[in-house]
Amino acid sequence: MNIKRVGSIAAIAIVGAIALSSCASNEGGAGTGSSAGSSDLSGTINGIGSSAQQAAETAWASAFQQANADANVNYDPQGSGAGRTSFISGAADFAGSDAALSDEELKSTFAGCAADSKAIDLPVYISPIAIAYNVDGLTDLTLDADTIAGIFKGTITKWNDAAITKLNPDAKLPSAAITVVHRSDDSGTTFNFSQYLASQAKSVWTEEASQTFPYSVGDAAKGGSGVADAAKNSKNSITYLDDSAVGDLSVAKLMVGGTATELSADGAAAVVSKSPLVEGRADNDLAINIDRTLTDKGDWPLVLVSYIIACDTYKDSAKGNLVKAYATYAASADGQKAAAEQAKSAELTSDLASKVATAAATIK
């Protein structure tokens, strides 16, 4: 009786262990064994970082593993801050981060990198941030930076406020209170959203860009899907979120340099591509200083760029080769297309993609 019971527990444990360990490499099911093996890359690299990148990283990792049967890529979406910290301490081989390394972080010693070699930022993931709303009967809405700042700061509280009606003379705006929904957790989306407003609506948005939503206004919800649900489940609501999480909500047009602009992946990618690099960095460090003032036709300056952060030279050259190949694939046309399908991100422009490829090629 006792032996039987112990035996059955052991059996469950063994079956569980087998089932779990077989999930460790997340290759897709289709013919991995036969088609693969064309490369001599082997080993495992572990990435930790941004949850915004998760869907894209999963797509890249599975395609990369199909092409290289002996290679293994794991990505743990613990968050950008955790990713950078783990990368610096050597716990992760690369980091996914919604912010490039800061100057202070660049000064630290990177445990996984070769002595006196530094880390580099490679932009691989672009996500347009949408202003989404849920108002009965309203499907066409245009807002400018000052109005958005007013709404999210709490100075504009009604949908039929003069500032909104002025921008939307033809829309039927209800005289209802605006339910503002923002993130309750710290996030790169909030950082880019507030950075845009801090630069484009200076007179209204007086706080600096920050990962934490700065004002005590409206309801807060956890994660992109959380704010989307909260906005969908309440009336007359408005929120900001990654375009991929919008779902059934309507997306507002943004006044960019006097023209009402629709959100487009191309417009977001164009803004990133035209923005200057952060100054004073190594040649192969592509940290981008997003130019929020661009006003060309179609430009969508409300955009988030996420990076793969890797060593310039790895202590372990086998790891270096793997990361190099992986980052190169992520920035390639195939990789960007896979990410766009999986994560609804904006594909890098070919101009920026080739820069990233050149920089990735220097990883050793």
- Binding residues for other proteins, rule: CB under 8 A, are 51, 78-82, 84-85, 177, 179, 181, 184-188, 211-212, 216-222, 226, 229-231, 233-237
Question: Least separation, in Å, of the C-beta of 236 and other proteins?
Answer: 7
Task: Pick left, alpha or beta for residue 309 (phi over 0 → left; psi -120 to 50 → alpha; otherwise beta).
Answer: beta
Question: Least separation, in Å, of the C-beta of 277 and other proteins?
Answer: 24
DSSP state of 176: P
3-state helix, strand, coil in the chain (%, to 5): 40, 20, 40
Q: What distance in Å separates the CA atoms of residue 154 and residue 180, rounded to the nearest whole number?
A: 8
Question: Least separation, in Å, of the C-beta of 124 and other proteins?
Answer: 19
Cβ nearer to other proteins, comparing 235 with 297:
235
Helix (H) / strand (E) containing 255? strand 253-256
Q: Do 242 and 224 contact (CB within 8 A), yes or no?
A: yes
Amino acid at the residue 38: S
Cβ nearer to other proteins, comparing 48 with 126:
48
Q: What distance in Å separates the CA atoms of residue 216 and residue 227, rounded to the nearest whole number?
A: 16
Question: Least separation, in Å, of the C-beta of 71 and other proteins?
Answer: 27
Cβ nearer to other proteins, comparing 79 with 112:
79
Q: What distance in Å separates the CA atoms of residue 261 and residue 168, rounded to the nearest whole number?
A: 13
Cβ nearer to other proteins, comparing 210 with 295:
210
Cβ nearer to other proteins, comparing 218 with 335:
218
Cβ nearer to other proteins, comparing 100 with 270:
100
Question: Least separation, in Å, of the C-beta of 321 and other proteins?
Answer: 30
Question: Least separation, in Å, of the C-beta of 233 and other proteins?
Answer: 4
Cβ nearer to other proteins, comparing 237 with 261:
237
For helices 317-331 and 333-343, the axis angle rounded to 10 degrees is 70
Pick from 130, 127, 131: nearest CA to 51: 127
Question: Least separation, in Å, of the C-beta of 160 and other proteins?
Answer: 16
Q: What distance in Å separates the CA atoms of residue 245 and residue 54, rounded to the nearest whole number?
A: 13
Cβ nearer to other proteins, comparing 46 with 358:
46
Strand order in the sheet with 253-256: 142-143, 253-256, 259-261
Question: Least separation, in Å, of the C-beta of 220 and other proteins?
Answer: 4
- For 296-337, give the DSSP string: STT----EEEEEEEEESSBSSHHHHHHHHHHHHHHHSHHHHH
Burial grade of 104 (CB within 10 A; 0-12, 13-18, 19 or more): exposed
Question: Least separation, in Å, of the C-beta of 47 and other proteins?
Answer: 15
Cβ nearer to other proteins, comparing 119 with 221:
221
